[in-house]
């Protein structure tokens, strides 16, 4: 880890990356499963202070070339839609000062149903947002209550309808499966309810018990009844089959989209592209360098108020790290890795990362090489996290990201 100098702005010897990420760490309340960098918001003065800090950080990033354009902007959280249109507009104005949005750029904002009404949605449209990621998580009121979600099923469906009425033609829904007490039939009903709304994108995640979440603590204490592994596998297969039957292409381990509606912002991550992140805990990557801001929102704001860099750590990735991440991210894509293109870009084939493990995974039917591509098999997708962890280079001295 390198020390970060006070007032050390981000300066570039190459064009600004074409993808920006903005982290809003505030929510109405903290969900019981959530391990993300998020906290309850408190009053509006906290949101105002955070908005000012974000604007200051963005303005401190000085590009060399001012004629570059951003292709994707993604506001994540937390709950970005907890900010007012005026606050979001101030942040977007600062981003456009750094790099204007290209024609047809993808501007995404994550939203939770309880924060959306016609005025808020109209404000988001006026600001130029053209893609919503709606955190529904379930259409079962009992499971929503168990998770600590502040909305119910009716509000989730209403928020989707309001978004359509406001003119959003690109909406993604997030759902979680393998929740405590959830059945396979219940999960199928959730899938049917989501698809009946007609979103362009579906993100379907298995519940993970994050150590810093309430669910994670209860799990460690043996106080929560987890869905059996075989049932969780059946839920994932049901997601793949149901989404495919409804016309959604399965393009990444947990992501499905109608033709033309893949998340362009996330595709840049999965292609090991460059991006700039702003906000508490936000990560950035540029030309083999990676850095991240301090995670605590109050510390982040105080640093901005004192004119200090918010950067908490930075590193220059080794060749082994970059190769590992390229393999890790490439295999998350269901189409897998183009072997010739990968070798031309990284100077070595994917199997060179961990040759013996690669051979074992092939023999076990978890990785398949055919038609010039390497990909996870159907069984490999079911065990994706474990499969990818086995490819981590032992000599690199690092854990998987």
Do the strands 311-316 and 289-293 form a parallel or antiparallel pair, or are they unpaired?
A: antiparallel
Residue range 19-270 in CATH 3.20.20.70: yes
Query: Token pair of 341, please?
Result: 């293109």
Question: Does the pLDDT value for residue 6 go beyond 90?
Answer: no
Cβ contacts of residue 256 below 8 Å, gap of 6+? 201, 202, 203, 204, 239, 243, 248, 249, 250
> Could you read off the pLDDT of 144-159 as tens digits, one per residue?
999 999 999 999 999 9
- Enumerate the domain spans of the chain: 19-270, 319-394
Which of 12, 36, 11 has the alpha carbon at shortest distance from 23? 36
The predicted structure's pLDDT at residue 67: 53
With CA atoms as reference, report the closest residue to 160 among 151, 173, 150. Answer: 173
Q: pLDDT at position 194, please?
A: 98
Q: Is residue 322 classed as helix, strand or coil in its secondary structure?
A: helix
* CA dist., res. 116 & res. 137, Å (int): 16
The pLDDT of residue 399: 35
pLDDT bucket at 3, cuts 50 / 70 / 90: very low
Average confidence score pLDDT of the chain: 92
Query: Is beta strand 171-177 parallel, antiparallel or unpaired with respect to 255-257?
Result: unpaired
- The pair of structure tokens assigned to 362 is 């092939």
Q: What percent of the chain lies above the pLDDT cut of 70? A: 92
Query: Distance between CA atoms of 76 and 90, rounded to whole angstroms?
Result: 16
Record the pTM.
0.93
User: In which band, very low, low, confident or very high, does the pLDDT at 17 lie, cut at 50, 70 and 90?
Assistant: confident
What confidence category does residue 102 fall into, taking pLDDT thresholds of 50, 70 and 90?
confident
Domain spanning 319-394, CATH class: mainly alpha
Q: Report, as an integer, the average pLDDT of 11-23.
A: 73
pLDDT of residue 61: 86
Q: Cα 301 to the chain's mean position, in Å?
A: 23
**Each residue's pLDDT tens digit, 145-203:** 999 999 999 999 999 999 999 999 999 999 999 999 999 999 999 999 999 999 999 99
Give me the DSSP letters along 284-312. EEETTEEEEE-S-HHHHHHHHHTT---EE
Q: Evaluate whether 348 touches 386 at the Cβ level (below 8 Å).
A: no
pLDDT confidence bin for 70, thresholds 50/70/90: confident
Per-residue pLDDT for 394 more than 80? no
**What was the pLDDT predicted at 134?**
98
Angle at 257 between CA 361 and CA 377, to 5 degrees: 15
Angle between helices 118-127 and 153-165 in degrees, nearest 10: 40
Under the banding of pLDDT at 50, 70 and 90, the label for residue 18 is confident
pLDDT, tens digit, 9 for 90 and up, residues 227-255: 999 999 999 999 999 999 999 999 999 99
Q: How far apart are the first and last CA of the chain?
A: 16
Angle CA 162–166–170, to nearest 5: 90
| Residues 344-355: tens digit of each pLDDT | 999 999 999 999
Q: What is the pLDDT of residues 261-303, one digit of tens each?
A: 999 999 999 999 999 999 999 999 998 999 999 999 999 999 9
Q: What is the pLDDT of residue 101?
A: 85
**What was the pLDDT predicted at 16?**
64
Q: Please, are residues 135 and 110 in contact by the beta-carbon 8 Å criterion?
A: yes
Give yes or no for residue 65 having a pLDDT over 70: no
């Amino acid at each position: 880890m390198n020390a970060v100098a006070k007032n050390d702005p981000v300066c570039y010897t190459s064009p600004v990356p074409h993808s920006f990420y903005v982290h809003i760490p505030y929510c109405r309340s903290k969900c019981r499963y959530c391990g993300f960098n998020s906290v309850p918001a408190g009053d509006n003065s906290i949101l105002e202070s955070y908005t000012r800090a974000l604007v200051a950080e963005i303005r401190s990033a000085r590009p060399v070339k001012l004629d570059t354009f951003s292709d994707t902007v993604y506001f994540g959280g937390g709950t970005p839609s907890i900010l007012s249109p005026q606050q979001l507009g101030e942040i977007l104005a600062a981003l456009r000062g750094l790099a204007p949005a290209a024609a047809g750029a993808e501007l995404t904002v994550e939203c939770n149903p309880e924060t959306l009404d016609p005025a808020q949605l109209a404000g988001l449209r006026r600001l130029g947002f053209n893609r919503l990621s709606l955190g529904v998580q379930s259409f079962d009121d009992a499971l929503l209550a168990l998770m600590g979600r502040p909305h119910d099923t009716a509000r989730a469906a209403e928020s989707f309808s309001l978004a359509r009425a406001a003119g959003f033609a690109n909406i993604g829904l997030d759902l979680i499966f393998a929740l405590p007490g959830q059945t396979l039939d219940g999960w199928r009903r959730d899938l049917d309810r989501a698809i009946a709304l007609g979103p362009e994108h579906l993100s379907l995640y298995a519940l993970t018990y994050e150590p810093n979440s309430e669910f994670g603590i209860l799990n460690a204490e043996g106080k929560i009844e987890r869905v059996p592994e075989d049932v969780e596998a059946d839920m994932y297969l049901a997601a793949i089959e149901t989404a495919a039957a409804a016309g959604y292409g399965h393009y990444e381990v947990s992501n499905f989209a109608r033709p033309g509606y893949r998340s362009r912002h996330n595709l840049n991550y999965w292609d090991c592209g460059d991006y700039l992140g702003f906000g508490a805990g936000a990560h950035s990557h540029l030309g083999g360098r990676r850095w991240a801001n301090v995670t605590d929102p109050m510390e982040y704001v105080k640093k901005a108020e004192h004119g200090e860099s918010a950067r908490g750590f930075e590193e220059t990735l080794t060749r082994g790290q970059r190769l590992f991440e390229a393999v890790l991210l490439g295999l998350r894509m269901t189409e897998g890795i183009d072997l010739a293109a990968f070798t031309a870009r990284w100077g070595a084939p994917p199997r060179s990362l961990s040759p013996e493990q690669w051979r074992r995974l092939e023999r076990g039917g978890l990785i398949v090489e055919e038609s010039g591509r390497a990909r996870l098999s159907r069984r490999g997708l079911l065990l994706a996290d474990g499969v990818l962890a086995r490819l981590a280079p032992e000599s690199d001295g690092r854990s998987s990201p």
